[in-house]
Structures are given as structure tokens and as C-alpha cells.
Structure 1
Amino acid sequence: MKKIHSLARTSPEEQGVSSDAVLAFLQAAEREKLGLHGFMLLRHGAVIAEGWWEPYASHRPHMLFSLTKSFTSTAVGFGVDEGLLSVDDSVVSFFPEAVPDKVDGRLAAMRVKDLLTMSVGHAKPIMGSEWRQTSGDWAGYFLEKPMDHEPGTKFMYNSGATYMLSAIMQRVTGQRLLDYLRPRLFAPLGIEAAAWDTCPSGVNTGGWGLSLTTEDLARFGLLYLQRGVWNGKRILSEQWIDEATSRQIDSGDKGQSDSQMGYGYQFWRGRHGTYRADGAFGQFCIVMPEQKAVIAIYGGLQKMQAVLDLLWTHLLPDMRRDTLPKDDVGHRRLADKLKSLQLANKNGTAKSAESAASIASINGLRYQMEENADHVSEIAFNFDDNGCTFTLTDHRGEHAVRCGIGAWVEGSTSMTGNELHHQYQPARMKVAACGVWEDESTFAMMWCFAETPFIDRVICLFSGSAVSLKRSVNVNSTAMERPEIYGTAVIGEER
């Protein structure tokens, strides 16, 4: 899709921000090993800094996780603007066929607004990992959940609430959320949204499932900063912007972290008058109305508050009202840094004499693996002058990853990974992989699933005819490594 409204690019100083402040933020993020993958900073509608940590790149979409929720909220906003529904409508009124025989008075009282503000009355949320294991009618599953509180009284983050918003919008529009938003949001902003996960009934999941580029996120934030106006044309009402991004309910125990500043309609309030859409493992779209700024970030990190702390420490104080004097030296330092960003460790050294001997001893062999929890039956290594093709066979079939030696090689793979990847298991994934011999008996690979936050590290240790394999990941909602597995070479076969 052609970007119908190109974002301007200027130096930070032209928009009242010093290049040194942006550089300090980037250096601090790397020093604290936060795991950023992409970064874009806008001020007064212009991009003043942007960069991606190789092999992540500007053109790649990245999983949004719960940041998707703010797009679902925006769809509801369009529906309200068009008179299709009201935030005061009863939730059960949209699902007469799925309402339990005995309707709890609290369920009958639940409104669309309670879904938007994550205050549906459940003591325990329904999160994406639970939904993905639920077959059949998700709306009925939600409506049958016991009610513990009066709706609208207690905040409880709940992906089930966002799914119900998507289901309601499909009821009132006759379209999936993705199709409904294309002409209203995505096309006007020049965003190419190719797909959105669906439930077994064909309803977009609502609370997760979108993948977009960093600039797509920046455009979305800019629409909200501009209070619903894009390229001089209003596409979303100012009233909805105000309601969605204002504090509608308390989100914590009045602490000082950004997650305790209140919650709107699927948007988080933050410190310093900010608000944001965010998703697991460091996906951010941050709007700073007082500073006329938008920050879009993709990452693979566990410490989401740490990123916000660095933004408030390094960037917020440096946002001046007036332009700053030209700073060619500082701007060049920043530009050089942005062009040289890469993941902290890509195992990057070339093949050594010792590794050449190791390659000769294992090249082309198949290793039969002992029984293991991941159902891996065989692995194999095939080296050539340009890298290595690693092959693994398990209960799903045969999977290959092509690695460069000390350099990234891009491709795609069907490699099993759900246990390390927040229970996500697409049929195929984009992957950039590299490997290195750490010593004569240890071959280490990094598999960067470059449209996700997940980066796997795979350590293969050889001893005679035996091999062990240990696989870990940078981020996950559960365990971050799998049990080590062991195997023995199949000797005597042709290579």
C-alpha cells in the first residue's frame, strides 16, 4: 500500500530536541540490555529519529500482542461515531442466543463501557493463552464465566473483554474488525494490515493478533495526537479521542509506576500527562500531548517500565518549545548510532581452523535423539562455504534453519517453538539466523524470528559421537529454556 501521506523527516534540533538526548536514551537502553528492536520518535508531526536493531528492519511488521487492543477500541469509536452502538449498551443484548438460562444481575448490567475499561466484574481474567486453547463459541464461554464484582467497579486486565468488543462490532457491522477498519483507519493512514488472528467462529481476536511496522504504529499515535485528524481531514471524532485516552478507571493501588496512572478505553494513562497503547514484551505507541510527540517502540524485553523510565529521564526533559541551534557534530553521532544498531550478541566471529576440523567430523551426520519432552527424534548439520543448514525432526515433521557463520542469513522456517514463544506456533515464520563455533566442540546459533520479539539461542555440544542441544529464548510468559536433549550419531550411513 502506498503511503498517501509521507511523514516528514527533520533533525531533532529543528523540532526542539537535542541529538545528544536521543543518543543518551539509546545508549542507556543498550547499557541496561533492554532488548529494543525498533524505535521511532516524532515531534510536531515529523520523524526526528528512527532505527532498528539488525536483523530487525523498518519494512518488517512486528507482533503487537496486546497493543492490538487500542485498534479494537478505535473500531468501537468509529462504530459509536456512526451510531451503530453506544458505550452504554448492554453486552448481553448483542448475544441473545449465547446468554445463559439464568442471567446473573451483574451480567445483565455489564455495558460496552465495562468491556472498554477492563472492569467486567471477573476476579480472574481470560487471557490470550487460555482463549487459544478454547474451541467453539468464545462469546458463550465469556458470558458463562462467574461474575465476582459489579461491572464498572474494579479494574482487571482481561483480553476476553477486548474479544467481546470485536464480536460486538462484527454483530453490528456484519464485517470482521480488520475489514471494517481498512477504509476507515488503515487506508487513510497508509497502513497495510494484512491479517488479524481469528477465533474458531471467524471473529478477529480483538485483544491480540495484529502485526504492523514501527512507522504504522507511529502513524496511529500521530492520529491520536492530532485528535482524530489526518492530512487535514477528520476521520475520528474528537469526543472519542478524549474519552478513550482519559482516565476512566483506577488501574492500580495509587503507586508511581506508569501502569498505575489509570486506564481509558483500551489505552493506558501514564506519567507526565502521557497515554499509550502497549503490548507484551515491549511493544509501545506512546503519545505525549503536552510535548506534541509520539514514540513507537518494538522490543523483546521483560522490563517494560524500565523503557518508560529511560524515556522520562533522557527525552522528556529535553523537549523544548523552540528550535535548537544546528548541531552537525551531535546529529552525525546520532545518525551513525542509528545506522549501526544491532542485537547485543549475534555470535559473530568467522570460522576458525579448530572449527574446520569440527565441521569435517560432523558434517552431514544425522543424530538420533533420546526420548524427550519436545518429541525431537533427529537433528542434523550440513555445512558448506556459506553457512550451515540445521535440520530438526519432531512430531510436527522436519524443520530447517539456514545459518550464516558470523553473519545473519534470512529465510523462513516451520521450526517448532510454541513452548518458548508464548504459545504461538504459526505454520511458517520469517527467521534470520547466524552461528559460530565458540570452541572446537561448541556450535552456537541465534535464531531471530524477525517479525516477533522472540530470539532463540541454540547451543550444540559435541563429544565423540554424542551431541547435546540446549535451546533458550530472550523473552517468554513462562519458562525461558527447554530441557537439554541428548543424541548419538548414526554411524555408517552415506553422507
Structure 2
Amino acid sequence: MPSPHPLLPRSTPAASGMSSRAITALLDRLDAHSVECHSLMIVHRGHVIAEGWWAPYDADRPHLLYSLTKSFTAIAVGLAVTDGLLSPDDRIAQILPEHVPADLHRQAHRLTVHHLLSMTTGHRTDSLAEAWQREPGDLVTGFLRVPFPDPVGTRHAYDNPTTFILARMVEKVTGRPLPDLLDERLFLPMGIDHAEWDRVASGAAFGFHGLHLRTEAVAAFGQLLLREGRWGERQLIPRSWVRLATRPHIDTQPFEDGSGNADYLRGYGYQFWISRHGYHGDGSFGQLCVVVPSHDLVVAVTGAHTRAQAVLDAIWECLLPGVGHAASTPDDAASARDDAGDAASTRDDAGDAASARDDELLAERLRRLSLPPVPGSAAPHRSAKARLDASTEDSALPDATTVAVDPVGGGWLVRFGPFPEIGSLPGAETFLDVEVGHGEWRESSPLGRPVVATGAWQGDTFVAELYVITTPHRVRLVVDTGTGTAVATWNIAPLTGSDLRVHLRSPLMTRPDVA
């Protein structure tokens, strides 16, 4: 289902010279490897040729991009450099002197924009937790206080605070918040009017995480990069900066767990990963923007998994072979006509018909994509009440929270609480009410951010899936009427804390160190 205000023109795989069967093979591979995707958009030769959302996700909803946000911050740095306000050689100590501790190590004095962009500051691991622990109110100062065991510029280590500092440097030299700058210079000129940002406690955008965009906006960003910063008749990003940001600046290190990571060992650019084919922006739990200039191809994917390499493998092994091979004439039809005088024309007609049929089959499959609703019965007159057991891993709510399930309009109202209302007068309490559908998804916004939920009775147990629909995350609620207990656990725990109530507020405002 395309957006009502499309950013990119539409076409079919066959018209674009792409095999629909290759896209089908990509979907089959993702299914076979149990990769949970929420959306997929494929852009070839500047046209969207395939797009799909796994219900309850849809085209009109933004999706949390996690660290794919970093690639957008890198573009903001490029805009500041273009304006002559910043240089890759500028040092943190020059631009943000108010954050520099008096006892700063001399290596930290040498850290430049280039080192931050390429994540070559001398740290060996992500310094986020330690930096915020050292300086809870100032991540920049905390980062500078973390020891630097390696010489600057010699080693890549994925390090979230580097991008946070870049965002603050851009804001300092431009005098504008990062979201406002990108709105004016990038998003609004492209027709993107729905960018949302999660923020730290001070109100500043994370920069290294927290951008929410619709899938088509991610694909359009990839297309902008593929065209080296040009959008229509406007050069929104200097060609030289796109080329600089998307080429390797440093070798990358193998993952500590020894997992296969062929597309994470090709080097790192300026907040972009270099791939076996082209390059990509990458966010936790399956948020990808893959750009393949050699094939005039962009692939945008959102999801909820830890299998990014499996997705990239599927793109290379299933999708790329289909570029330039749209026709799929049946072998028996071709061989039967080899001696006919009009064999070539007939084969072309047969190939066109087969390709059109393949396109229709693919389009129908994309329309039917869905995550499974909870199986079970409605039991329309049955209620339940329980106490939450938060001892399970990745629990989404505090221990002993009251959970009440009551039938409403063919579904249920699930009430959590009461909870003490943060920041209110002593004794003030609040409830968290979530609507749940049976055999369908039902939407509510109890604290500002939407939740889409489905549920059912399975014997004496009530089960519901609560999708925090603008993120990769959902909570599985299981209420056991026999024991009077309930559990509420994340499919994948959010990186910014496990309390569901925090993630239902918009904008999310937190610090990663205060779960």
C-alpha cells in the first residue's frame, strides 16, 4: 500500500528490468530464516518496483530506525561543512570547549570531526554506558573522560557517543537543533514531513539513535545518496560529501561473538558501513538502507530481529541475480518454437506474458504480508485479573502490577496499574489502558504513542501481543487465571530501557543509563 503522498514514482519489476521471481526468492529466504520484517521497499532505476508491510505495520507509520539515524547525522555534518561552518579537521576542544574537562588527556585534545565520523577515537568498545556513568548530565564530557587505550585514528570501534558529539557540534556551529536543520535542508525539500525524534532528558535529539521515518522516506534517502545528493533539480547534499561519507576510511573488526559478518568487515565510512556491494546504513534489530550504485538499486527494510547479515545475504544472493533478467519464458514453449519463422517475436510475447504474470503474483503476495494474530477463542463474557510477575527476563512492567482483562466490543480492554504518576502530587495515580482485538489488530494511544494489539483465550490463559507500532518492539502478555499471575515480556528489549510506559510516550525522552 503506497503512501498517499508518494516520494518516489512507481513501476513494475518487469518494466524496470528486474525479475519478480528474484524478489519472491528474497521473501522466501527471509521466511525460511525466520527473519521478522516489518516493511520492505525495493527501488530500481529510480522507481519503487516492490513494497510491502507486514500487518499490523503499514505504509503510513514511521518506524524507529535506531542507529540508521547516524547516517542522517553524518549528512547534517556535511551540510555544516558545505556552509563553511565546520571542517573534518576541527577538534572537539575547539568547537565545544565548555564540555572539555580541565584534566583532559592530551589524546582527547587531538580528536577531530573526522575521527568522530569514522569512529576512530582510540576506544576499543562502545563507551556509551561508561561515559554516561562518569558524567550523567553531560555525555560529551563523559566521553572525553573515558580512557583511550589506542592511538587516535588507528582502530575502528563502534562508539555511540561519537555521533552524539557530532550532533552537538553541528548544533553549536549552525545555531539550530539537529532536527530543524535536517527538516529545512533535507526532509522538507524531499517532501518528507513526518520525521520524529526521540530525545535525551535535556530535550536534545540523540543523534546516534531515535529518528522515526516511514519506509518510503528511508528508501528516498537511499535514492538521494545513489544520485550523489541530487533530488530532482536540486543538489541537496554536495556530491563530494556523499562520495566522502560512503567510501571506506578505516578497516573494521570482527564481531566479538564470532558470528558471520561479511558485510561488516569491508570497512567503515562516515557513519556508513561499506558492503560487499555498495554501502548501507544500519540500525539495531533490522533497520537497513542498502545502496548498490553498480545495480542502480536501493533496498529499505525495517524489522525486529538480530539477523541483519542474513538480510544482506538474501539481497546479494536472491535479488541481485534478478537485475536485468525480467523475462521468464517457459523452456518448453521456447524450444517448441525454435524452428518457427516468428520464433523470436513469439518468445518475446511469451516472456512478456510470463513476466506480467509473475509481477501480479508478487504484488498479491506483498498485499497479503502479515504477522500472525494470536490464535484462540474470543470467550466474549470472560474476564480476568492477575498480578504481574516481573522476575522473567525482559519484563516490560514492574513486579506486582495489577492486570485486568475485560471484554469490550468483540475484543478486550486490558488495564495495567494503578501506577504512581511521575512528577505529580503524592498519591496521584494513573492507569495504562490498552485495547486488544480478536482476530484483528485494535489501536489505542494510552500515553500518546500508538499501541496496536491482538489477543485470544487459549484455555484458561489469556494471551495478547501489544505492538508499540512505531518501533520494532512488542510486549507479549500472558495471563494465567489458574495461578492469578501474569507476565509481560518484550520480543526484543528496547535499548533505552524496559519500562513499557516510557516507550508509550511521544517523544520518548530518556537516557540509555536510566532504565
Instruction: Specify if TM > 0.5.
Output: yes
Tell me which of 374, 382, 393 is aligned to 1:347. Answer: 374
Tell me which of 376, 384, 389 is aligned to 2:413. Answer: 389
C-alpha displacement of 1:307: 0.8
Q: Answer with 109-118 or 232-241: which moved more.
A: 232-241
Give the Cα–Cα distance (whole angstroms) in 1 for the partners of residues 186 and 358 of structure 2: 37
Tell me which residue corresponds to 2:83.
Answer: 82
Letter in 2 for 1:404: G
Give the Cα–Cα distance (whole angstroms) in 2 for the partners of residues 456 and 369 of structure 1: 13
Tell me which of 326, 346, 363 is aligned to 1:335. Answer: 363
Please state if 1:319 is matched with 2:352: no
Change (3 A) 1:195 1:253: closer
Tell me which residue corresponds to 2:62.
Answer: 61
Tell me which residue corresponds to 1:430.
Answer: 450
Please state if 1:462 is matched with 2:481: yes
Residue 389 of structure 1: SS of its match in structure 2? strand
C-alpha displacement of 1:282: 0.2
Letter in 1 for 2:433: A
Tell me which of 270, 276, 281 is aligned to 2:285. Answer: 281
Percent identity reads 34
- Tell me, yes or no, if the aligned pair for 1:346 and 1:406 is still in contact at 8 Å: yes
Letter in 1 for 2:408: D
Residue 154 of structure 1: SS of its match in structure 2? coil
Change (3 A) 1:29 1:230: same
Give the Cα–Cα distance (whole angstroms) in 1 for the partners of residues 442 and 435 of structure 2: 7
Structural mapping, 1:224-243, within 5 Å: 224-243=225-244
Give the Cα–Cα distance (whole angstroms) in 2 for the partners of residues 477 and 155 of structure 1: 25
Change (3 A) 1:194 1:410: same
Q: String of CA shifts for 1:6-32, please: whole Å, max 9, x gaps.
A: 411111011111111111111221222
Residue 26 of structure 1: SS of its match in structure 2? helix
C-alpha displacement of 1:159: 0.8
Give the Cα–Cα distance (whole angstroms) in 2 for the partners of residues 284 and 131 of structure 1: 27
Give the Cα–Cα distance (whole angstroms) in 1 for the partners of residues 208 and 72 of structure 2: 9
- Tell me, yes or no, if the aligned pair for 1:128 and 1:208 is still in contact at 8 Å: no
Give the Cα–Cα distance (whole angstroms) in 2 for the partners of residues 460 and 221 of structure 1: 43
C-alpha displacement of 1:394: 5.3
Give the Cα–Cα distance (whole angstroms) in 2 for the partners of residues 370 and 177 of structure 1: 41
Residue 437 of structure 1: SS of its match in structure 2? strand
Please state if 1:172 is matched with 2:173: yes
Residue 197 of structure 2: SS of its match in structure 1? coil
Give the Cα–Cα distance (whole angstroms) in 1 for the partners of residues 476 and 104 of structure 2: 50
- Tell me, yes or no, if the aligned pair for 2:18 and 2:325 is still in contact at 8 Å: no
Give the Cα–Cα distance (whole angstroms) in 2 for the partners of residues 202 and 395 of structure 1: 25
- Tell me, yes or no, if the aligned pair for 1:376 and 1:393 is still in contact at 8 Å: no
- Tell me, yes or no, if the aligned pair for 2:14 and 2:326 is still in contact at 8 Å: no
- Tell me, yes or no, if the aligned pair for 1:388 and 1:404 is still in contact at 8 Å: yes
Q: String of CA shifts for 1:459-495, please: whole Å, max 9, x gaps.
A: 21222xx4221223322368x999xxxxxxxxxxxxx
Give the Cα–Cα distance (whole angstroms) in 1 for the partners of residues 390 and 467 of structure 2: 27
Letter in 2 for 1:264: G
Tell me which residue corresponds to 1:452.
Answer: 471
Q: Answer with 226-235 or 143-152: which moved more.
A: 143-152
Q: Answer with 78-87 or 50-59: which moved more.
A: 78-87
- Tell me, yes or no, if the aligned pair for 1:455 and 1:474 is still in contact at 8 Å: yes
Letter in 1 for 2:96: F
Change (3 A) 1:476 1:5: closer
Residue 445 of structure 2: SS of its match in structure 1? strand
Give the Cα–Cα distance (whole angstroms) in 2 for the partners of residues 200 and 456 of structure 1: 24
Give the Cα–Cα distance (whole angstroms) in 2 for the partners of residues 383 and 5 of structure 1: 39
Residue 413 of structure 1: SS of its match in structure 2? coil
Tell me which residue corresponds to 1:139.
Answer: 140
Q: String of CA shifts for 1:49-82, please: whole Å, max 9, x gaps.
A: 0000000000000001000000000000111111
Give the Cα–Cα distance (whole angstroms) in 1 for the partners of residues 133 and 213 of structure 2: 21
Tell me which of 295, 311, 326 is aligned to 2:299. Answer: 295
Change (3 A) 1:150 1:481: closer
Letter in 2 for 1:33: S
Change (3 A) 1:379 1:192: same
Please state if 1:267 is matched with 2:272: yes
- Tell me, yes or no, if the aligned pair for 1:177 and 1:204 is still in contact at 8 Å: yes
Give the Cα–Cα distance (whole angstroms) in 1 for the partners of residues 70 and 303 of structure 2: 18
Give the Cα–Cα distance (whole angstroms) in 1 for the partners of residues 408 and 202 of structure 2: 47
Residue 451 of structure 2: SS of its match in structure 1? strand
Change (3 A) 1:450 1:158: same
- Tell me, yes or no, if the aligned pair for 1:3 and 1:189 is still in contact at 8 Å: no
Give the Cα–Cα distance (whole angstroms) in 1 for the partners of residues 133 and 224 of structure 2: 31
Q: Answer with 140-149 or 289-298: which moved more.
A: 140-149
Give the Cα–Cα distance (whole angstroms) in 2 for the partners of residues 86 and 430 of structure 1: 41
Q: String of CA shifts for 1:151-196, please: whole Å, max 9, x gaps.
A: 1111010110000000101110011111111121011111124432
- Tell me, yes or no, if the aligned pair for 1:137 and 1:200 is still in contact at 8 Å: no
C-alpha displacement of 1:219: 0.7
Structural mapping, 1:111-126, within 5 Å: 111-126=112-127
C-alpha displacement of 1:341: 0.3
- Structure 1's unaligned 5+ residue stretches are 415-427, 483-495
Change (3 A) 1:300 1:237: same
Give the Cα–Cα distance (whole angstroms) in 2 for the partners of residues 133 and 261 of structure 1: 33
- Tell me, yes or no, if the aligned pair for 2:215 and 2:301 is still in contact at 8 Å: yes
Residue 181 of structure 2: SS of its match in structure 1? helix
- Structure 2's unaligned 5+ residue stretches are 329-350, 392-396, 421-429, 500-515
Give the Cα–Cα distance (whole angstroms) in 2 for the partners of residues 156 and 369 of structure 1: 40
- Tell me, yes or no, if the aligned pair for 2:126 and 2:160 is still in contact at 8 Å: yes
Q: String of CA shifts for 1:190-235, please: whole Å, max 9, x gaps.
A: 1124432333444321101110000000110000000111102211
Change (3 A) 1:247 1:299: same
TM-score, length-scaled by structure 1: 0.86
Change (3 A) 1:468 1:49: same
Give the Cα–Cα distance (whole angstroms) in 2 for the partners of residues 385 and 14 of structure 1: 46
Tell me which residue corresponds to 1:379.
Answer: 403
- Tell me, yes or no, if the aligned pair for 1:375 and 1:394 is still in contact at 8 Å: no
Give the Cα–Cα distance (whole angstroms) in 2 for the partners of residues 88 and 120 of structure 1: 13
Change (3 A) 1:181 1:450: same
Please state if 1:19 is matched with 2:20: yes
Q: String of CA shifts for 1:427-480, please: whole Å, max 9, x gaps.
A: x431111111222x12111111111101222121222xx4221223322368x9
Q: Answer with 244-253 or 209-218: which moved more.
A: 244-253
- Tell me, yes or no, if the aligned pair for 1:374 and 1:394 is still in contact at 8 Å: no
- Tell me, yes or no, if the aligned pair for 1:14 and 1:323 is still in contact at 8 Å: no
Letter in 1 for 2:475: D
